[in-house]
Structure 1
Amino acid sequence: MQPITVAPAQGDAKAGTAAHVMVAAANPLAVQTGLRILQAGGSAVDAAVAVQSVLGLVEPESSGLGGGAFLLFYDAKTRKVTAYDGREVAPKGADPKQFIGPDGKPLTYFQAVTGGIASGVPGAIAMLELAQKEHGKLKWSALFGEARKLADEGFEVTPKLARAIVSAAPQAKGADAQAYFFKADGTPYKAGEHIINKPYAATLDKIAAQGSKAILTGELAEKIVAKLHSGTYPSTMTLADMAAYQPKKTEGLCLPYRAHVVCTPQAPSGGVAVQEALGLLARTDINKRGPQDPVAWLQFAQASRLAYADRDRYEGDPAFVPFPKGLLAPDYLAQRAKLIGNSIQPVTYGVPKDAPKVGPDATKEPGGTSHFVIVDAAGNVVSMTTTVESIFGNGRMVDGFFLNNQLTDFSFTPTDSDGTPAANAVAGGKRPRSSMSPTIVLSPKGDFEIGVGSPGGSAIIAYDLKALVAMLDWGMAPQSAASLPNLVARGDSFGADPFPQDITAALATKGLVLQTARGENSGIHIVLRRSAKQGGGYSGAADPRREGVARGF
């Protein structure tokens, strides 16, 4: 077998080790900011607030103040994992048929993405505010200084942002993005050049003083509503919709996987699909194989396809659509795992116990997302995936930040031909289904072992699954796990990074033909707690496909 190259040349520069604290995030400025908060005695959640405020400035194509997030928190004292849901919410006036055009056909994604109807009430800041009230050590107002300074004095445009600025995405071509990212002479900002965003600095001042009310009520909320009511496909968003937003808090969804306990958020996150895929793989011998073995990748692909099929059929906002309790039950997983055969076969959804009657799904889910992991000096951990959904959200800006297009994560076709609604159909006050699946792995005793997650649209589930299998089954180090080629198997699509030719050929004989250069790259970030034999402390990793690093002290 040809060896898989798991550590590109830049891999080592992205990895880090530390004795006390660690931050792994998508931009070095955000990592530096998080470490400064931790050095000042802040908690992991304090650092998360600061990291998000910087990411929203320097990586606005991926996440921001106008978006949403899922945060998983591990409390080192209680050894409990709590999930915070900052997913955006559809306005009360949202129509199940709002993505159906005048011709009776679903709008194209590019028609819908820049419309006012694409945006939900932003939840990231309200969610962070709730988590910080419960787990913060510093004053809320002290967490925004670094981001404010970068916005006011300027920051360096990265190659990723520079590519987004001149991309073919309709959001990048909109008036707001053009006004921000293009200079007076009509040329775009390029990588290495400095860009200033004073309105963002002013917005951070308001958030520092007022918390999430600064966005959800008052002048900013009025500007958001006005922006969404303008232009094509106007929203029904009201000030009452904005003011009514509430983040949600639940127990983490924690299930055993071999000698570990894997925790994710509950529905409507992608954590459910990650958990199902792991439950299926636990009934295979993938742990006795490795990344050089084509059979391991076939098993991985089959488990992914089965989990995606169930998720696409049944998962929606559990406040609106009952989540089938039998989906993660051992007997159902054992039954589904029998479908992981020696070749690719047609896959459809199963029928778990208490499965609701729902129609087929027609959700389109590109991604503009980010992920970070933070461990503080007390051993508390944050694993958070954050997004504005697509590149620059819906392309509309208010006071320095982009608004999300999260409602395009609903099914564009709301019902079956007989009128049965899809689980992820649009409804007023509903949260759209998400693939975001920040993950924390514990020992059976509840000790922290690993924090991991990735951006990548619907591929997030496969990216996270790959990293977990690489570390938990194949014993790979974090950086090697992050750098390992990706395989995203969903339905009859098998998007992948280039694999060694012998593995590609062997998979093709099983009906799994890899399709390279498809979809959004992963941006995996990992922090692993090292054992005493390994010297203790932490090892961090950042995906070589993006611009992040892992650092600590």
Structure 2
Amino acid sequence: MNKSLLAFTASAVLFTQPVVAENIGVTSSADPRVTDAGMEMLRQGGSAADAAMAMMLTLTVVEPQSSGIGGGGFLLYQDNAKGILSTINGRETAPAAATSDRFVGLDGKPLGFLEAFQGGRSVGVPGNVQLMAQAHQKWGKLPWATIFKPAIRLSQKGFIVNKTLESRLAAIQGLWPNFDEARTTYRRDGKPLKAGMTFKNPKLAATLALLAKKGPDAFYTGPIASQIVHAVTTSKLSPGDITMTDLAQYRAKEQQAVCAPYRVYVVCGMAPPSSGATTVLQILGTLQRFDLKAMGKDSPQSWYLIGQAMQLAYADREKYLGDDAFVNVPVAGLLNPEYIKERSALIDPEKARADYPAGNPPGATPRTAAISSEVAGTTHFTAVDKNGNIANMTSTIEGPFGSQLMAGGFFLNNELTDFTFAPEKDGAPVANRVVGGKRPLSSMAPTVVFNRDGRAVLALGSAGGKRIIMHVTKTLIGVIDFGLPLQQAIDLPNIYFGGGGLEVEQNSILSAMADGLGKFGQKVRPVDLGSKVNGAQRIGNSWTGAADPRSEGTSATIDAKGKVKVTVPRSIDEAPTEDVG
């Protein structure tokens, strides 16, 4: 039994003999250039780790609004031969000088998000390059420099601006009068870049070339580190306090996975400071007593129950989750089967609750709930190699465009705004308060699922801020309960909550059944709930990829003859494929 699994999974046999798929490689991401970069590594004999890290670097180039080396992420890696699921926490840290009143104004009240996120004050020490270095050292097969080639090529030769980048640039321009480098880099003739234009980023190409040659130390102790410190501390707006020492002392860290059974499967994800796995598993556990399969995906009651479990689990998230290196996070208590039964008993199958209180899990320290802010940015990508190894990573700079500050051609994160701005509530310290060296709470939820034989059968994750948890949970329910292929599960409508009721994806089957859903007693409001789910699924002995039709993402597979097939889910109703090699 893998020691990384918590005690409550001990009855499950998770890891058995390796399985080599008929498709000998899969990549999936929110951008076709990124999917291609990962596939380029697999075609050269690279591992899933090589592919995923090439994808992370390429996202720095083509998806600057959401992710990149200026931010951090969480990686799940399934070593198929050894039967071990590992995780690496590359979440950003607060500078050593950070204090709990970092986002409190002179009037003693928490700052507004708009005031807090722009400039150096919101920048955490980036973790993605350290994560990459550890992953490459443990599981990489290709030379370090090879992994950089797709990203350097796109930076030097240019890439076509897509509609997503165009829309994000158009939306953010009014916030850039104090950010000269961002403005000059992403404008042409004084106007934001448009879809169809070719964009080159020579500064980023130089940064990536230096990293490729010198290794991660160039980022954390060398010239790139100096550029980061300079950008943060000299920001025209809210200068920050990151130092060269903060960068030099940063370490990504390997952690135990958080796992729990659901139906005949075991679902695994990241430990704190990610709230993803804990909250996903709470929702699933709370739903265990309901026969969602019999109800089906077209039943208002299925979605009503999902909504009830969601709101109860998020209440616990706000109260108990944070960086467990600094606060007691009762993960085992939150997932304790008896506690989950208590929480599930709060759900009336026929009538919505009037409130959704946090519970009292075993081992919890008394504290008050406090809402954290988390912007719906981020990205997710998945790679499976010919040996069945899986790299499943969610990466972010928060967004859009992080803190708006650039260094070396890339954007720096605003992850510190994921801390709770008010350090105390009702006279008690909140779990997710700012502390120097601490990692802010995150909803990123990279997830790997194992079947009853202990074989990995599903890997996925999403973007979307706090909604990430629900995008992932909905997809898991789609596969496990509704019996859908991964692509169709991703296509299912999204659901969330807010404004005292449920939010359902507009122009979907959920918005069409709003009246039926509302009969359970909770207000239902159709809204835009976009997502960027990406992942891979093993069916029989063959892996296949899937991407969210709400994004510009793609997936690709390669077979033993070297033939690559790219899948482009252009809409909910259409998923054409294209043979490219």
Q: Structure 1 length as normaliser, TM-score?
A: 0.93
**1: CA distance, partners of 2:406 / 2:122:** 14
Q: Does 1:508 align with 2:513?
A: no
Residue identity opposite 2:290 in structure 1: T
Are residues 251 and 170 of structure 1, via their aligned partners in 2, closer, same or farther at CA, if it must alter by over 3 Å? farther
Query: Residue 368 of structure 1 contacts residue 392 of structure 1 at CA under 8 Å; is this kept in 2?
Result: no
The Cα offsets for residues 424-458 of structure 1, whole Å up to 9 and x where unpaired, read as 00000000000001000111332110011100000
Query: Residue 166 of structure 2 contacts residue 195 of structure 2 at CA under 8 Å; is this kept in 1?
Result: yes
Provide the alpha-carbon RMSD of the alignment.
1.5
* Mapping of residues 15-30 of structure 1, within 5 Å: 19-30=23-34
The Cα offsets for residues 131-162 of structure 1, whole Å up to 9 and x where unpaired, read as 11001111111111111011001111010000
Residue identity opposite 1:328 in structure 2: L
* Mapping of residues 135-534 of structure 1, within 5 Å: 135-168=139-172, 174-183=179-188, 185-230=189-234, 231-269=236-274, 270-324=276-330, 325-341=332-348, 342-345=350-353, 346-418=355-427, 420-489=428-497, 492-498=500-506, 499-500=508-509, 503-518=513-528, 521-531=530-540
**2: CA distance, partners of 1:62 / 1:502:** 31
Query: Residue 72 of structure 1 contacts residue 382 of structure 1 at CA under 8 Å; is this kept in 2?
Result: yes
Moved more, 208-217 or 490-499: 490-499
- Structure 2 SS opposite 1:112: helix
Residue identity opposite 2:338 in structure 1: D
Moved more, 248-257 or 158-167: 248-257
Query: Residue 500 of structure 2 contacts residue 523 of structure 2 at CA under 8 Å; is this kept in 1?
Result: no
Alpha-carbon shift at residue 276 of structure 1 (Å): 1.1
- Structure 2 SS opposite 1:21: strand
Alpha-carbon shift at residue 511 of structure 1 (Å): 2.5
Query: Residue 367 of structure 1 contacts residue 456 of structure 1 at CA under 8 Å; is this kept in 2?
Result: yes
Residue identity opposite 2:343 in structure 1: R
Query: Residue 293 of structure 2 contacts residue 482 of structure 2 at CA under 8 Å; is this kept in 1?
Result: yes
Alpha-carbon shift at residue 359 of structure 1 (Å): 2.9
**1: CA distance, partners of 2:372 / 2:552:** 29
Alpha-carbon shift at residue 318 of structure 1 (Å): 0.3
What residue is the counterpart of 2:574 in the other structure? Answer: none
Q: Which runs of 5+ in 2 are unaligned?
A: 1-20, 559-581
Larger relative contact order (CA 8 Å, sep ≥ 6): 1
What residue is the counterpart of 1:3 in the other structure? Answer: none
**What is the number of equivalent residue pairs in this alignment?**
530
- Structure 1 SS opposite 2:185: helix
**2: CA distance, partners of 1:172 / 1:466:** 36
What residue is the counterpart of 1:87 in the other structure? Answer: 91
Alpha-carbon shift at residue 210 of structure 1 (Å): 2.4
Are residues 27 and 207 of structure 1, via their aligned partners in 2, closer, same or farther at CA, if it must alter by over 3 Å? same
**1: CA distance, partners of 2:240 / 2:212:** 28
- Structure 2 SS opposite 1:150: helix
Are residues 336 and 188 of structure 1, via their aligned partners in 2, closer, same or farther at CA, if it must alter by over 3 Å? same
**2: CA distance, partners of 1:396 / 1:380:** 36
Seq. identity, %: 38
Query: Residue 171 of structure 1 contacts residue 391 of structure 1 at CA under 8 Å; is this kept in 2?
Result: no
Q: Structure 2 length as normaliser, TM-score?
A: 0.89
Alpha-carbon shift at residue 308 of structure 1 (Å): 0.7
Are residues 159 and 485 of structure 1, via their aligned partners in 2, closer, same or farther at CA, if it must alter by over 3 Å? same
Query: Residue 305 of structure 1 contacts residue 490 of structure 1 at CA under 8 Å; is this kept in 2?
Result: no
- Structure 1 SS opposite 2:429: coil
Query: Residue 360 of structure 1 contacts residue 415 of structure 1 at CA under 8 Å; is this kept in 2?
Result: no
The Cα offsets for residues 378-437 of structure 1, whole Å up to 9 and x where unpaired, read as 00001110000120001000111000000000001110232x110000000000000001
Alpha-carbon shift at residue 217 of structure 1 (Å): 1.2
What residue is the counterpart of 2:570 in the other structure? Answer: none
Residue identity opposite 1:294 in structure 2: P
- Structure 2 SS opposite 1:464: helix
What residue is the counterpart of 1:10 in the other structure? Answer: none
Alpha-carbon shift at residue 177 of structure 1 (Å): 2.1
**1: CA distance, partners of 2:308 / 2:499:** 10
What residue is the counterpart of 1:41 in the other structure? Answer: 45
Alpha-carbon shift at residue 170 of structure 1 (Å): 5.8
Moved more, 439-448 or 170-179: 170-179
Are residues 213 and 515 of structure 1, via their aligned partners in 2, closer, same or farther at CA, if it must alter by over 3 Å? farther
**2: CA distance, partners of 1:131 / 1:421:** 35
**2: CA distance, partners of 1:320 / 1:169:** 37
